[in-house]
Structure 1
Amino acid sequence: MEGLVAEVMRESGEGCTVYSSIAGPIALGHGGLATRKFSLRFSQHKPYGGKAERVFVSVGVLLSKTVKTPLKWKLAVDGSTLSREIKPQVTVDLEEAKYAKMVIDATPLLSSKFSERSVHNLFTYYDGAQPITLVDVFMVAVYRPLEDDNTSYHFKASYHTGALALEPGDVAKVYSTLGRAQDDAFRVAVAGVQVSSPQLRVYLVAGGSRRDYAAGPGYKLLRVDIPYRGVEVPVAVVNEPVDTPVYPRLSIVGDILVYESRIDGLRVGIRDVSMEYSNKQTVVKAVVYNEGSVELKRISIYVLPSPRHKVSIDSLKPGEHRSVRLLQAPGDRPPQWIAVEASAAGVPFYREYPIKHS
């Protein structure tokens, strides 16, 4: 196992942490299928009236083994130039290339812009003779509420970033110190990974949670709800062992974010869960309740570990509920959890509710 990941941020108090990711590959340069310029609009949660206090941007690039860094390029978000050269903090060798990781504390340049809007623009420009590949971008922001904010929300967060190259059977471990969990808080672990081959699977497990798997090739974002309530949350990213030769065989762990969030008055319930079987298809039925005093918006509900079918609900006001039907296709793994994503006053919410099988 080559490379390293290190904790670059640990924050807590009033506020919340949000994240977003952009998956490549995007070939940059001139010649062939490469492009000199690339631009993409992306969205990220923003608490109503919240002020961005910290912003980190993590960028992963694939380079030919013969390419030497630093390289001239331009990386900008919302018109602010974050980098004028590729000068990675961590580089790891892969079978046919090398993976370079840059981590940028973009707080001075982006805090005001992330405070103003939830939709952003990423822009890159590279005109080198040897093409490079932008493979992943991961962004983390910490928001603090304004003094006159009517919604009370609190958080704890630990963010590790860098690059670790995992052989099949390798395990990357980090420990995120959050302190004891607050009452009514939920905890989530997120990992950004590059899985090199369709014959490989990488999984994430945190604090006794379920395992979230990703098969290759390409960039994948893994996420799990953490049941563990203790001080230090153990997190593991595993490149599963294989019994047969695989090429390429190295997978990359780039970012691990572990956070806890509590929103006063937020309570979501899942009731009346049942399953039907018809024409080799499983249908999971459930009722989603807003049991709190905060309105839920942009709600997405799906079944794990095979989130093939998602049901979207615009909003649920306090006391409201909605019945949902979630379809599973033949060959999907048996349903084990119902996942709920939502926004409460702009603060992201995510929980997984186990399905009890009779």
Structure 2
Amino acid sequence: MRATLIERPQKRPGNPRFSSGPCAKRPGFRLDGLRGAPLGRSHRSDIGREKLRTALDQSREILGIPDSHRIAILPGSDTGAFEAAMWNLLGPRPLEVLVWDEFGARWAEDAAQQLGLEPEIRRVPYGDIVDLAAVNWDRDVCFTWNGTASGVRIPESAEIPAGRGGLVLCDATSAAFAMDLPWERLDAVTFSWQKVLGGEAAHGMLVLSPRAVARLESHRPRWPVPRLFRLTRDGHLIDGIFRDETINTPSMLCVEDYLQALCWAREIGGLPALVARAEGNARTVWEFCESRDWIENLARDSATRSTTSVCLRLVDARIRDSRAFVQNLTARLESEGVAFDIGAYRHAPPGLRIWCGATVEKADVEALLPWIEWAYESEIAALR
């Protein structure tokens, strides 16, 4: 391993924002581009309803969501949307929760401790993924498609049975708009605006299949459902929630920003272009790691590597306190103004997490990587 300090890089990322949420705004974003927001107007007004309907319709178009599925805007970001799905849908069947990062662990905890269910929890360490072939799809199943905190995603080769008996609840907040999702095999899918499209926080999306709607209208949960989560009334779906009547008041400024992000996505080529941008960014990081012996992808199986939240770990025997080393490294990068918020999630193993979603420019990823190597070499030199 090299012991000499490399030269300080000269080229800097044009946008040093690599946070995994809220994520970088889309290229060309300007605040004055949001002047069309109906500020000070009711979301129940004609223009408010029109904006909300457009957000739902364009989300369906870009993501390729079948016409048979219902879409709603919910409060509380992806967390609120997924909690709403759990509180309303779970109970009639046995449950499995698949855990390979912090957020899957939260759903397992809520199912067991808040809802009082007795789920079978399939849990693996960070960097691994559960054996999907062992999952009983005749049970209800909850999982994250892409582990934001672990950088581990469902592999493309995975198949969810069409003839499954249970419902599939999928937290797709770091996957929607960056990965192809098999909508016909998923029954409740959630995501937020603040991830791949770089929207503002606090708003979540819930997509329900016909099977999920049938469950909603035939099942009454045995626990109280908070008002912000209620999707039915008197045994029937509250249809307005899935058109233009949100459960609570949305930020029309955030709605406008989301609409502008959807417009940008459509202009660059829709979902295929979004997927390609994320994959290109991630591949740039992977190739950097493959040519160095001190850093590697946290995902052990290359087929499960995330293309959005790329999580890395340092593999250098000279580093005795990995967490302190990473804190110093990321602080050095932030002080240089070349990378903000790229430390691993607080409950994950110490390392780096570089957001590579579609709003990130590949040139910025390419400019960032020499700085990471420089910061690493600088911190190694400081150990001596």
What's the TM-score once normalised by structure 2's chain length?
0.23
Between Structure 1 and Structure 2, which shows a larger proportion of helix residues?
2
More contact order relative to length (CA 8 Å, sep ≥ 6): 2
What's the TM-score once normalised by structure 1's chain length?
0.24
Between Structure 1 and Structure 2, which shows a larger proportion of strand residues?
1
